[in-house]
Amino acid sequence: MARRSRSLSASQSGAGAPSRRRALRLVRRRARPTAEAAADHPSRWTRPHVRTLAIASGKGGVGKSNLAANLAVALGELGARVLLLDADLAQANLDLLLGLNPRYDLQHVVSGEKSLEEIMVEGPRGVTLLPAASGVPALAELDDYRRECLLRGLGQLEAGADIILIDVASGTSRQVLSFCLAADQVVMVTTPEMPAFSDAYAMIKLLQQSGLKRPPALVVNAAASPEEAEEIAHRLRLVARRFLKLEPESWGYVPFDAAVPSAVRRQEPVVTAFPRSPAAHAYRSLAARLWEAPAGPNPSTRPLLEKLEA
């Protein structure tokens, strides 16, 4: 897998390079900032304007990160420029699922050693990954200031992206809720098992109480059949409609497929490791739902659909 680290620092930009914003670092300087630094403070930045999806789940082990990784690669195959943020800051694993070995990650950004652009890694099909670490307390307990800086830092990278996917941690922590509420839409992943179903509903309820504006989309993973997936999605929509006055939309399902754990062991997305598998087909169908097929010779310039609905 190709890997590339890019920097916005003046020492690496070249004498003839155009002037650009200073690279984001999530620590405050002790000295009084210059006028130039004050003008470039993260508080003056904005959050991303490109379509941003947060992929969430009420509990772990439902295939959320697999969905994020494979959906990103499937979108890349269609010509989309995908920025993938591993926001499971305490137990990151997107680098493993994509077969990457990043030298730096978000802990180096939080500590001020690196910028966001300096930790970016190019993955399969042109997907750009912002990797996180595992077992780092500074990331697991990210404060509101640094989390907001991170979200606004994504806005500084949006010129090179058509869509941003945020793989949040499982559960209902404050950090998870913040990432979900910052996205344009939440994709809620569940499985047919009752604990996953129950936790998905609890997550949707908490998001609504926290100010979620748009109903989440539902993806049923590891379904034994289309009928089982539709039944689970229907029950979840029914409960949300009755008790929360929400109308979640079903975005389909990913079938139970032995190719998925095989691809995980190979540290490769299933859409590239087993491109003809049922799961790979499902991921590509979801990607096609989100991305308008390019008609011209330059697919990277095609915009996302204004509406994600089919």
Q: Is residue 28 part of a domain?
A: no
Greatest pairwise CA separation for the chain in angstroms: 63
pLDDT over 60 at 260, yes or no: yes
Pairing mode, if any, of strands 185-190 and 249-255? unpaired
The range of the structural domain enclosing residue 148 comes to 44-290
Q: What is the pLDDT of residue 26?
A: 55
Average pLDDT over all residues of the chain: 84
pLDDT over 90 at 180, yes or no: yes
**pLDDT tens digits, residue range 38-85?**
445 455 556 668 899 999 999 999 999 999 999 999 999 999 999 999
Q: Is residue 17 part of a domain?
A: no
Q: What is the pLDDT of residue 59?
A: 93
**pLDDT tens digits, residue range 12-37?**
444 444 444 445 555 544 445 554 44
Q: Which band of pLDDT confidence, cut at 50, 70 and 90, is reported for residue 116? A: very high
Q: What is the pLDDT of residue 299?
A: 41
The number of distinct structural domains making up the chain is 1
Q: Is residue 8 part of a domain?
A: no
User: Cα(272)–Cα(140) distance, rounded to whole angstroms?
Assistant: 31
User: Cα(24)–Cα(228) distance, rounded to whole angstroms?
Assistant: 46
Instruction: Kindly report the CATH number assigned to the domain that includes residue 223.
Output: 3.40.50.300
**Cβ atoms 124, 82 nearer than 8 A:** no
Task: Give percent of the chain with pLDDT exceeding 90.
Answer: 65
Q: Is residue 145 part of a domain?
A: yes
**pLDDT tens digits, residue range 124-176?**
999 999 999 888 877 878 888 888 888 888 888 888 999 999 999 998 999 99
Q: What is the pLDDT of residue 23?
A: 53
Q: What is the pLDDT of residue 290?
A: 92
Q: Which band of pLDDT confidence, cut at 50, 70 and 90, is reported for residue 270? A: very high
Q: What is the pLDDT of residue 10?
A: 37
> Could you tell me which residues are beta bridge partners of residue 223?
255
Structure-model confidence comparison of residues 25 and 195, the more confident one = 195
The DSSP line for the chain is: ---------HHHH-TTSPP-PPPP-SS--SSPPPHHHHHT-GGG-----SEEEEEEESSSSSSHHHHHHHHHHHHHHTT--EEEEEE-TTB--HHHHTT---S--HHHHHTTSS-HHHH-EE-GGG-EEE---BS-HHHHT--HHHHHHHHHHHHTTGGG-SEEEEEEPSS--HHHHHHHHHSSEEEEEE-SSHHHHHHHHHHHHHHHHTT--SPPEEEEEEESSHHHHHHHHHHHHHHHHHHH----EEEEEEE--THHHHHHHTTS-HHHHSTTSHHHHHHHHHHHHHSPPP-SS-GGGPPPPSS---
In this prediction, residues 98-102 reach a mean pLDDT of 96
Q: Is residue 22 part of a domain?
A: no
Q: What is the pLDDT of residue 162?
A: 94
Q: Is residue 7 part of a domain?
A: no
**Closest by Cα among 286, 282, 222 to 249:** 286
Q: Is residue 34 part of a domain?
A: no
pLDDT over 60 at 238, yes or no: yes
Q: Is residue 270 part of a domain?
A: yes
pTM comes to 0.81
To which residue do tokens 């890019």 refer? 6
User: Cα(181)–Cα(190) distance, rounded to whole angstroms?
Assistant: 19
